[in-house]
Structure 1
């Protein structure tokens, strides 16, 4: 592989990535209902992409389930947690009757998508912008460091049967980058050294989300979840890491306390 072919998609990825980051930063900064609508839209589109991959012959199901997921996510963002957790599971059950194939995979991943969206809303609303930016930062640097380390170093593949481009070098590069984000938060916030370990754990969770989505694409026989974003594929392709990391934080925050070291 020549140097040109290794990096041929970098420019396109950077431009579309910058647009995504711009929209995301604006939504995160504004917070409130604007952020809730953004998360609901992303969740709905990801469910639409999921259904399209798993059951492409069903023409109406992707749109119906995508809209249902987006509405459920938006309402869940505005109601008490016990009702929110009920709402984020409803699209999974609705989809089981709509799917001709892949129903169990759909139900599992649709639930994870909406739980991840709810986790991001909770992180922004309850802990503030700095901690949502921490999670986004961990996922973004994991992806970027993994991309450059994997392309530059190469070496042993992580799971060649499912993801033929992901390497152990890229995985470790992502962990190191995430740890550096955690170190920055030790010095910049009241969090203790535990945030470094939690950053690495969130990085691993984001990589698991990435690989899980790769497994779905492999099963569906597609390269990307959709072609919405030039150089990146679909939203599922871009937010698969956030899917894993956000669900992980939603759960781990109930176990270790969050942010580490800031609780009395």
Structure 2
């Protein structure tokens, strides 16, 4: 193995170990559902808002912890409220941070709304539609990321957006779409959802990549590599769940047009 090829895979084992632990915890929480899953989603959302504030306002003192804790608490409370009451308190966190932070207020507000609405949407899917459909969302995002990671490093080729994300290639991006299509096809075979789930899976894969690129652009604008160091080999929770944010927001919108969950029994 050449030094160059060795560098491509230098973080592989750390990423795999951390990834396996996250997948195990996530699948157990998704399988169990109810309060355990709600608590995990609330914790992740709160920590992502904490990371976001620290990136955008690194000298803001109490703000990261306070806004992160508030975001987690609001996310947890939202799922136990009627939607008409849940939505305003979810949006209120973004407005509160906008009024308190000194810099990059609009970025904070937009990303915070995405984070909290995504968390709320995922909890709603698990509570209302069950394990199967939340697993589909997670698998599309994970397969997009994993297949893209390996294909991009194995195949290489033209870069997708070298100025912002120098490791991402078109080969890895397209491979992620193929992986998502296969996930959609398998779910069609096992749920009777119909072939349109394949197209929606590819679109959701693209949305997850958009979420990834949006977070990469945010980090590049701040001159940092990772949103935090919480997860060895992966950086922070925003680094790991940026694709889930894009996919979840997309599904909240696209579900109105596709009749999600596609008329499956």
TM-score range normalised by the length of the shorter chain: over 0.9
Query: TM-score, normalised on structure 1?
Result: 0.97
Q: Is the partner of 2:166 in helix, strand or coil?
A: strand
Q: Is the partner of 1:166 in helix, strand or coil?
A: strand
Which digits, 9 at most, give the CA deviation of each residue in 1:158-179, with x for residues without a partner? 1122111111111100000000
Runs of 4+, deviation exceeding 6 Å: none
State the superposition RMSD in angstroms: 1.0
Q: Any gaps of 5 or more consecutive residues in structure 2?
A: none
Please, which of 206, 225, 228 is the counterpart of residue 226 of structure 1?
Answer: 228
Q: Which residue of 2 aligns with 1:161?
A: 163
Q: Which residue of 1 aligns with 2:141?
A: 139
Assess if the C-alpha contact under 8 Å between 2:51 and 2:238 holds in 1: yes
Q: Which residue of 2 aligns with 1:216?
A: 218
Which digits, 9 at most, give the CA deviation of each residue in 1:97-142, with x for residues without a partner? 2211110000000000001101101111111100000000000000
Assess if the C-alpha contact under 8 Å between 2:228 and 2:236 holds in 1: yes
Q: Is the partner of 1:165 in helix, strand or coil?
A: strand
Count of residue pairs brought into register by the alignment: 263
Q: Which residue of 1 aligns with 2:251?
A: 249
C-alpha distance in 2 between matches for 1:206 and 1:193: 21
C-alpha distance in 1 between matches for 2:90 and 2:160: 32
Q: Any gaps of 5 or more consecutive residues in structure 1?
A: none
- Shift of residue 48, structure 1, vs aligned partner: 0.3
C-alpha distance in 2 between matches for 1:200 and 1:82: 31
C-alpha distance in 2 between matches for 1:254 and 1:44: 28
Q: Which residue of 2 aligns with 1:149?
A: 151
Q: Is the partner of 1:222 in helix, strand or coil?
A: coil
Please, which of 172, 191, 196 is the counterpart of residue 194 of structure 1?
Answer: 196
Q: Which residue of 2 aligns with 1:88?
A: 90
Please, which of 25, 28, 35 is the counterpart of residue 26 of structure 1?
Answer: 28
Map 1:48-67 onto structure 2 (within 5 A): 48-67=50-69
Assess if the C-alpha contact under 8 Å between 2:191 and 2:264 holds in 1: no
Match status 1:206 vs 2:189: no
Q: Which residue of 2 aligns with 1:3?
A: 5
